[in-house]
A and B are shown apart, each in its own frame.
Chain A
């Protein structure tokens, strides 16, 4: 069973994806943390870049901050109110919004980019460190969920989080 072999140097996406699956099957979930929304600039979608303490031993804060800032930039681009959004809005209104049956909105295009980016980040950076980021759209754009996995392969005390998720609520 494969352990956490850093695969950043391996450019083969198929191998990296295979490693991600291996991660899921070889490791067990230890904890989940949730990065909350940052409402300081209003209701636009933006996540807090505060580095959670549970990740301190797992990943460098610069990498984490980079990821969150890039995501925030993507969302800002999707929600930007400018020339293109006006054009899209007026054109759609003129066709009684029927044009959305054949055309993809700008927001949807950016969401696809975000999904690809998150998968790429998971494979290159987070999976080798035993972490997994869930796309915020699957959580109602409320939180970025980060799953922290325990390395079953290594014996003895592993660094950082060793508690299990709070399932006693069930």
Chain B
């Protein structure tokens, strides 16, 4: 007998933990708060629209038609980089599945030994040596993994991100290993666009005023009104653009400069803020190649890392194994992404017997395992009680498993 299974295809992104929002059936991945991102988009598109409406006709005629063409290309590049930064996976590390988490817990317990009750357990840290430098890997209690070097947990997105730089509200996403170069190119091209628009706004205003000045001089008609007012009436958008560009310039150009500095040292914003490699106690950045060009090349021209999240993969439902004839239990419904290589037997087995010590179990873990083995059969009375001797799965046990 086989149960009727869910027929709707569920993709893995629907079940991903963390506080991200997904669009376009998992193709787009962003943070939850997107308000500031819309503001960024509005400012860029709005200012450029004003530029194309007010400046470009005048400058194309009086200076060169290449000016609006280059502006269009630059604008498109900025938007492409912004969308790429905002919509892509920054390098999120998936959380550990239960078996992996348990394995790590056992390793930690084995390393720490028995902690007397009342005493706080030592902090969970692993030391690794990278290029003759000791780096501490911290344990993430949310993701249940030891974070790789340079990874950090973003509290806004509730994910561990590899090579975590910072969470940028302006792009509405974290900036990490996979999208850092797009972020940098976005700030760089936005600086160029801002400077470009600002320059040509000034040029435009000066040209108009100069033209007016020449006309007035020739006609010998002097007006007492101020120079700026006439331009304002004809192209009111210019002033708005100048204002926006002026304030944007300082922040964006400054940010670009800061990130250029970080790239040349192969550091992340996170490390810079924490002062990880500030030189105290002879700590040096073990990831830096000590050569500016090499560092820049690694960050900007390195390989494009794939996403390990598999957002668009299909969730494994419990119905599909051809050899299994019995209905699997509802308790084995998948809540985490299950890879193609696992099977029905695997999932069913997960719900039964407790951890049983064997010759490979570390000595310290044995008492705790025995204790939990005694406790566990009672809450699981609907499952067959697991034998205490090293169990070879007997046919009877497996048949019973399959009926649950």
Residues of A within 8 A of B (CB): 21, 24-25, 27-29, 32-34, 37, 39-43, 53-54, 78-81, 85-86, 88-90, 92-93, 96-98, 100, 105-108, 111, 132, 134-135, 137-143, 145, 147, 150-152, 154-158, 161-170
In the complex, are the beta carbons of B393 and A132 less than 8 A apart? no
Smallest CB-CB separation from B356: which chain A residue?
A163
Known contacts A40-B129, A43-B149, then 10 further A-B pairs from the complex at CB < 8 Å, ordered by chain A residue? A28-B393, A39-B149, A81-B298, A85-B303, A89-B304, A108-B306, A152-B392, A152-B394, A164-B391, A167-B351
In the complex, are the beta carbons of B303 and A90 less than 8 A apart? no
In the complex, are the beta carbons of B353 and A164 less than 8 A apart? yes
On whether A150 and B393 interact (CB within 8 A), knowing A97-B182, A132-B341, the answer reads yes
On whether A25 and B343 interact (CB within 8 A), knowing A34-B103, A40-B128, A96-B77, the answer reads yes
Which of B349, B353, B360 touches A54 (beta carbons < 8 Å)?
B360
CB distance from A28 to the nearest CB of B (A): 4
A145 surroundings in chain B (CB, below 8 A): 99-100
A92 surroundings in chain B (CB, below 8 A): 304
B205 close to chain A: CB less than 8 A = no
A-B contact pairs, 17 of them (CB 8 A): A28-B345, A29-B345, A39-B149, A81-B298, A81-B301, A85-B301, A96-B81, A97-B84, A132-B341, A139-B97, A140-B94, A147-B342, A150-B393, A157-B390, A158-B392, A163-B357, A164-B356
A166 surroundings in chain B (CB, below 8 A): 98-99, 102-103, 106, 355
Which of B148, B309, B398 touches A43 (beta carbons < 8 Å)?
B148
What are the nearest 3 A-B pairs in CB distance? Answer: A162-B390, A89-B301, A166-B102
Which of B135, B303, B353, B394 touches A107 (beta carbons < 8 Å)?
B303
In the complex, are the beta carbons of B303 and A79 less than 8 A apart? yes
In the complex, are the beta carbons of A147 and B346 less than 8 A apart? yes
In the complex, are the beta carbons of A53 and B148 less than 8 A apart? no
In the complex, are the beta carbons of B346 and A105 less than 8 A apart? no
In the complex, are the beta carbons of A96 and B351 less than 8 A apart? no
In the complex, are the beta carbons of B80 and A98 less than 8 A apart? yes
Bound Cα distance A140, B178 (Å): 14
A42 surroundings in chain B (CB, below 8 A): 130-131, 149, 286-287
In the complex, are the beta carbons of B392 and A161 less than 8 A apart? no
In the complex, are the beta carbons of B358 and A162 less than 8 A apart? yes
Bound Cα distance A135, B97 (Å): 14
In the complex, are the beta carbons of A43 and B386 less than 8 A apart? no
Bound Cα distance A43, B163 (Å): 9
B110 close to chain A: CB less than 8 A = no
A97 surroundings in chain B (CB, below 8 A): 80-81, 84, 182
On whether A167 and B350 interact (CB within 8 A), knowing A37-B148, A43-B287, A142-B145, the answer reads yes
B101 close to chain A: CB less than 8 A = yes
CB distance from B296 to the nearest CB of A (A): 11
Bound Cα distance A25, B346 (Å): 9
Bound Cα distance A132, B343 (Å): 12
A21 surroundings in chain B (CB, below 8 A): 323
In the complex, are the beta carbons of B130 and A150 less than 8 A apart? no
Bound Cα distance A158, B305 (Å): 42
Smallest CB-CB separation from B358: which chain A residue?
A163
In the complex, are the beta carbons of B349 and A165 less than 8 A apart? yes
A134 surroundings in chain B (CB, below 8 A): 339, 341
Bound Cα distance A93, B300 (Å): 10
B255 close to chain A: CB less than 8 A = no
Bound Cα distance A143, B103 (Å): 11
In the complex, are the beta carbons of B323 and A25 less than 8 A apart? yes
B56 close to chain A: CB less than 8 A = no
Smallest CB-CB separation from B103: which chain A residue?
A34
In the complex, are the beta carbons of A138 and B339 less than 8 A apart? yes
On whether A29 and B148 interact (CB within 8 A), knowing A96-B76, A140-B308, the answer reads no
On whether A152 and B77 interact (CB within 8 A), knowing A164-B355, A165-B99, the answer reads no
A155 surroundings in chain B (CB, below 8 A): 392
In the complex, are the beta carbons of B103 and A32 less than 8 A apart? yes
Bound Cα distance A98, B391 (Å): 56
Bound Cα distance A24, B343 (Å): 7
Smallest CB-CB separation from A32: which chain B residue?
B99
On whether A78 and B303 interact (CB within 8 A), knowing A97-B84, A158-B392, the answer reads yes
Smallest CB-CB separation from B301: which chain A residue?
A89
In the complex, are the beta carbons of A41 and B130 less than 8 A apart? yes
Smallest CB-CB separation from B137: which chain A residue?
A39
Q: Give residues of chain B (312-363) contacting chain A, Cβ–Cβ below 8 Å.
A: 321, 323-324, 337, 339-343, 345-346, 349-358, 360-361
